[in-house]
Amino acid sequence: MRQLFIANPKGGCGKTTLAAQLAGYYARRGEAVALVDHDPQRSSLDWIKCRPAATAAVTAIAGYKGEQALNGYDLAIHDVPAACGIAALTGFMPPGCKLLVPILPSPTDIRAGVRFLMDLNIDRRIGELGVDIGLVANRVRANTRYYRVLASFLESVNLPLIANIRDTQNYVRVMDSGITIFDLPHSRVAADIQQWAPLLSWVENGHTRAEAV
């Protein structure tokens, strides 16, 4: 079973949106997907409850209650709550898993990201587990000052930037409906789906980098 953790101690950076979109995409492809919600606020589980009956099933796992995704799944996606530090995170990460870190182009998020990514780079346990770490620039508006600041910062860290995900109301709409952008007409989301290509490739194979926006 492949295991993907989505984490950043800074709240509001889009962890649940990324987790839900990935879960829906792989379920739509026919994979058995578990979405493990480690946050008592249950945002990921609420998204699953909203899913229309016609959509591919995603299994809800209440990780905050100690529930686990056991054998029988192709992919387990873990939505990790804000304020979860490195020590707590490594406490339930298995060897060889992937860790996706979304960061927003704002001063507060960049400062929080600096501390978290520095900790990831030096933490011995992360290295021992062989965690494959990737970064996502989330809710990006191209050609803005803060995006340029974020892009410059991410180029300076020793971790790969996997994807740039643009700021669009498409994500608000699909999250409210329990679906994904991959369920919408292609003509409406072609630009969004193109941005997801390197991220999906990294989830499946690793070793990819984002294109500039």
Cα angle, residue 63 at apex, residues 172 and 30 outer, rounded to 5°:
65
> For residues 134 and 30, what is the distance between their CA atoms, to the nearest angstrom?
25
Contact call for residues 132 and 180 (beta carbons, < 8 A): no
Q: What is the pLDDT of residue 154?
A: 77
Which residues contact residue 2 at a Cβ distance below 8 angstroms, ignoring those fewer than 6 apart?
74, 75, 76, 97, 98, 203
> For residues 6 and 134, what is the distance between their CA atoms, to the nearest angstrom?
10
Flag whether 210 is in a domain: no
Residues facing residue 161 across a β-bridge: 135
Flag whether 186 is in a domain: yes
Flag whether 39 is in a domain: yes
> For residues 19 and 78, what is the distance between their CA atoms, to the nearest angstrom?
7
DSSP assignment letter at 101: E
Flag whether 75 is in a domain: yes
Flag whether 212 is in a domain: no
Predicted structure pTM score: 0.92
Q: What is the pLDDT of residue 156?
A: 76
Flag whether 112 is in a domain: yes
Per the listing, tokens 């026919």 go with: 30
Q: What is the pLDDT of residue 210?
A: 60
Q: What is the pLDDT of residue 211?
A: 56
**Rg of the chain's alpha carbons, rounded to an integer?**
16
Domain that holds residue 16: 2-205
Flag whether 179 is in a domain: yes
Q: What is the pLDDT of residue 73?
A: 96
Flag whether 45 is in a domain: yes
Q: What are phi and psi of 137, to 5 degrees?
A: -80, 110
List the CATH number of the domain containing 53.
3.40.50.300
Digitized pLDDT (tens) for each residue of the chain, 213 residues in all:
999 999 998 889 999 999 999 999 999 999 999 999 999 999 999 999 999 999 999 999 999 999 999 889 999 999 999 988 888 899 889 999 999 999 888 888 888 888 888 888 888 899 899 999 999 999 888 777 877 887 787 777 778 889 999 999 999 999 999 999 999 999 999 999 999 999 999 999 865 556 555
Residues facing residue 62 across a β-bridge: 37
Domain count, the chain: 1
> For residues 70 and 76, what is the distance between their CA atoms, to the nearest angstrom?
9
**Single-letter amino acid, residue 35:** L
